[in-house]
Structure 1
């Protein structure tokens, strides 16, 4: 698929990275040379190579070049410290690690027995053009889970799974040939790699990689490069809503959000205050890719309150305890070298246990009500943080909110809310008065057992690099 983009899209821009502009024809040449470079250092079919670097044209050339050489990609989270990255590099059996020296001031070093290659060197251009045959059933990449609930596990996915799913994603997300796609989602994550780089190659869209999210830089790129496509986590859209001169965003057409619980009020504001003409919401996980998505033509209410319907070829089922189960071609081959965890995740009937709690309505639309591990029980009643957070976000003084369960002598557990307040000058409510105001307001809108008993006000919530709130830190 990637090697055909030169024939399909030719002299159109494939990547714009700073002052560098690469056509699709040029991109194919760079990829084939990178494949030769990997072969020349001994990377054979099925060998794994890690990339521990920020979003860039070089990341894309390295990843696609590695696959063209028959290798398996292992993306590593750029926010990891050396010990965390070394654990993944070692467990994946990577034959080499590609890094960008100096990024975020970190020492990007690998275990002593693994060669380290700087993406800013001439390595990728040093090989003789090469391509090796790859089968659709071969493992294409091993993406490690985010590790917010335990040790990261390596998810094995094949080429055929990826191409089928993200071809459909392009249709659902309204990604078009010639789109200008600003990718703020990290390439080490499925949202940036598969719904980003790979989707752009499927469709013929121009990739504008963003290594570190900075709203000023993002707005500058949107305006200068006429960006049309801008997926991202809810935090991205919160930032765009605060841009004073929204005329600078006028080129934006398509939004896609996920990676975190999506507040209803946020979708309402994105729809009414920003220029996007299509908004897709969806649900996915590393072990199964994009599982559900809203559809073009869905009503505002459907987009705002559900994560859409199952993608083609996938079955959904809600277990007796409320957990969402998924079965279909998209389910991972398994966790690398971890048959115990694989058997825990995928039952004998082929159902992937997602760990998320959900309901499915008569039209097949899915509503995610929380994480199975996040749910807490207040005096015998199940409380779901995502639902409570949604109520809190409707208050005009609340910018962001996260809720956890904490021990209580009488009720077993009660809710505790962490709130990022809006500026008191804009809301007229002093922070000293806000806790009482929010608790009173909550009691008028939700059952008593759901109402948070205490609140902590923060300038920002702790987020991982994919925009998920790290609730283990709040605990």
Structure 2
């Protein structure tokens, strides 16, 4: 069955896989028919209680769970453009995205990892009182049974929604060209940018992903990748809806809990970044768990450690191990290995362009270069974003006149079209699978009253792959210590952005135009400082 929108996908799955187990979340187990009914009710509530109209932005700030799935799919079924918020955000970071996206409705978790997201949100909103607040935000729904009086609980919100006919009528107005989501990423400016993607792009991209990966009905998919990211939401939730696979959301990755989940739920599919997979194969108690159900993984987002592909096959029994490359601006997927590829191709490249797209590598002049020559990776095809929300200059900067997306990543193509990522023009580094952008961390560090300048680079880390190292210029007379900077950072920014080490310098190395010479800083990182 061909579907034109995500609501049609949900309804199709509810009919085709009605009695199949759709979601396992703790003790809760529901079928696809039950999932479809819950999504309809959430959509009706979005329309009635949330006042959601087609094209309105609806945000969700919560960890992986059944409620996340229902709330998100309900919002999209009501015609909304979904705005997933990173669960690592602090309140001020979340409010910034809520303001700039113009979100009308917000779903927020209660407490997660010992932090009250509701309290964090309320503090941030109170701090916004003099800055205009969030005039577009009409309703906040807490995904729990307890909420302050100005917000509404999830149960009360759902009780306000009824009217299947109205939901179907609303969903029928959506087509392939309708916007489906607005995912905020970061760039060299250090300010998150909202990437506009349509229903048609999403469905085509992840039908392709599911086909190339070999996802099938009867698979039991452990969703450890966060839903606020394309990898978790689209390659996870939506791909499962396409194939009738069972979704097992895991709110926080923990290697021991993951091994237990695999054994008890007979998990067959477990995609994730290399750090996640490596922690499983290296776990000291791995052999005490029955992992024989595992058959498939797709990884990427970072360099694949030597020997990992072989160990995934040998130690975890993975029949299918694939690597891929993507970015939000290209609907999350650009290249992917094929199941028939040799292990050396899978271990050393990110595969070839997916069908319907083109990938090229260009010199600084913009001219394409041949196989084996390093240059900027560019992509053109159905998966390229519709643009950055409310940021036409950034959109023009990201696109060539003939439709190529400038990824900002550096790579090399081999003679058969397989892509190997070698560097990042944007200086982005990856902390345990999370993209960290130095410019964003630097912008936040400069807000400290005793810091006049800062530069951040990514440095190798045996556990997380890479972490941030900050070079900081102190205000004259300040008694700031590295521990002070790190402690302040933990309060002000998501933990993956927090520098793990700090070195104070008199000034940052800059070129004639004033740009920080990150290469000079990278040369210094191997020389320990007494201030570390």
Bin of the TM-score, shorter chain as denominator length: 0.7 to 0.9
- When residues 9 and 51 of structure 1 are mapped into structure 2, their CA distance, relative to the original with a 3 A threshold, is same
| 2:295 counterpart residue number | 253
Offset, 1:261: 2.5
User: Does the Cα contact within 8 Å between 2:378 and 2:406 map onto a contact in 1?
Assistant: yes
1:267 aligned residue (272, 284, 309): 309
1:15 paired with 2:23, answer yes
| 2:389 counterpart residue number | 336
What SS is found at the alignment partner of 1:16?
Answer: strand
How far, CA to CA, are the matches of 1:145 and 1:332 in structure 2?
Answer: 12
What SS is found at the alignment partner of 1:268?
Answer: helix
Offset, 1:264: 3.2
Offset, 1:348: 1.1
2:69 aligned residue (57, 60, 77): 60
User: Does the Cα contact within 8 Å between 1:172 and 1:280 map onto a contact in 2?
Assistant: no
| 2:112 counterpart residue number | 103
How far, CA to CA, are the matches of 2:379 and 2:312 in structure 1?
Answer: 30
Offset, 1:374: 3.7
2:211 aligned residue (155, 171, 187): 171
Query: Per-residue CA shift, 1:18-42, capped at 9, x if unaligned?
Result: 0000100011111111110000021
- When residues 174 and 188 of structure 1 are mapped into structure 2, their CA distance, relative to the original with a 3 A threshold, is same
- When residues 217 and 403 of structure 1 are mapped into structure 2, their CA distance, relative to the original with a 3 A threshold, is closer
How far, CA to CA, are the matches of 2:22 and 2:55 in structure 1?
Answer: 27
How far, CA to CA, are the matches of 2:102 and 2:386 in structure 1?
Answer: 18
Query: Per-residue CA shift, 1:322-355, capped at 9, x if unaligned?
Result: 1000000100000000001111111111110001
User: Does the Cα contact within 8 Å between 1:75 and 1:143 map onto a contact in 2?
Assistant: yes
| 1:43 counterpart residue number | 52
How far, CA to CA, are the matches of 1:306 and 1:260 in structure 2?
Answer: 11
| 1:354 counterpart residue number | 407
1:153 paired with 2:193, answer yes
Offset, 1:273: 2.1
CA RMSD, Structure 1 to Structure 2 (Å): 2.4
What SS is found at the alignment partner of 2:422?
Answer: strand
What SS is found at the alignment partner of 1:182?
Answer: strand
User: Does the Cα contact within 8 Å between 1:34 and 1:126 map onto a contact in 2?
Assistant: no
User: Does the Cα contact within 8 Å between 1:61 and 1:124 map onto a contact in 2?
Assistant: no
User: Does the Cα contact within 8 Å between 1:62 and 1:124 map onto a contact in 2?
Assistant: no
What SS is found at the alignment partner of 2:333?
Answer: strand
1:118 aligned residue (142, 165, 186): 142
1:327 aligned residue (376, 380, 387): 380
2:422 aligned residue (354, 369, 378): 369
Offset, 1:227: 0.4
How far, CA to CA, are the matches of 2:202 and 2:350 in structure 1?
Answer: 20
Query: Per-residue CA shift, 1:248-294, capped at 9, x if unaligned?
Result: 22211101112222223322322332211101100000100210000
| 1:431 counterpart residue number | none
Query: Per-residue CA shift, 1:208-248, capped at 9, x if unaligned?
Result: 00111111211111111000000011111111012323342
User: Does the Cα contact within 8 Å between 2:280 and 2:286 map onto a contact in 1?
Assistant: no
1:219 paired with 2:272, answer no
Offset, 1:7: 1.2
How far, CA to CA, are the matches of 2:26 and 2:300 in structure 1?
Answer: 27
**Can you give the 5+ residue segments of structure 1 that lack an aligned partner in the other structure?**
376-391, 408-448, 458-474
1:240 paired with 2:273, answer no
How far, CA to CA, are the matches of 1:191 and 1:216 in structure 2?
Answer: 22
Offset, 1:404: 9.0
How far, CA to CA, are the matches of 1:340 and 1:249 in structure 2?
Answer: 50
| 2:345 counterpart residue number | 302
How far, CA to CA, are the matches of 2:58 and 2:470 in structure 1?
Answer: 42
1:135 paired with 2:169, answer no
**TM value normalised by structure 1:** 0.79
**TM value normalised by structure 2:** 0.71
| 2:358 counterpart residue number | 315
How far, CA to CA, are the matches of 2:186 and 2:301 in structure 1?
Answer: 11
What SS is found at the alignment partner of 1:373?
Answer: coil
**Can you give the 5+ residue segments of structure 2 that lack an aligned partner in the other structure?**
1-8, 126-132, 145-153, 365-374, 429-459, 472-519
User: Does the Cα contact within 8 Å between 1:34 and 1:125 map onto a contact in 2?
Assistant: no
Offset, 1:200: 0.6
